[in-house]
Amino acid sequence: MLITFKSLASSDVVMFEKNAQELLNILGKDPNALMGIVTVEQFPEAIARLKAAIASESEGHARVEIEGDAEADSDEVVSIGQRALPFIELLERSLAENVPVTWGG
């Protein structure tokens, strides 16, 4: 199943449900909600949480690479940063235009 995040400030961001749920969980939103909203007032904290998750994951991968873990070299791993970047951009554009981001419904 796909989840579509919408805003009047930018193009839609479409994600697989599992990936969208991961990002919603980071934001403190119900990952199983069929619809929802990120309000303009919530954008600064939401953006900060996503960037912190990216930084945390990056630090973890750096440690794994130093230890020489074979999985760290896998080209099949898609980082949270790669998945979250379009969503962060949507939030930032929506913040600049003072409009919410919604999903579902």
pLDDT, greater one: 64 or 61: 61
Q: Is the pLDDT of residue 65 over 70?
A: no
Q: Is the pLDDT of residue 2 over 60?
A: yes
Supply 81's token pair: 């940063």
Determine contact, residues 24/10, Cβ cutoff 8 Å. Answer: no
| Averaged pLDDT for residues 57-64 | 62
Q: Given pLDDT bands bounded at 50, 70 and 90, which one contains residue 64?
A: very low
| Type of residue at 54 | I
Q: What is the pLDDT of residue 23?
A: 96
Segments of 1-105 assigned E as strands: 2-7, 10-16, 36-38, 101-103
Determine contact, residues 43/94, Cβ cutoff 8 Å. Answer: yes
Among residues 30, 29, 77, 33, the alpha carbon closest in space to that of 49 is found at: 29
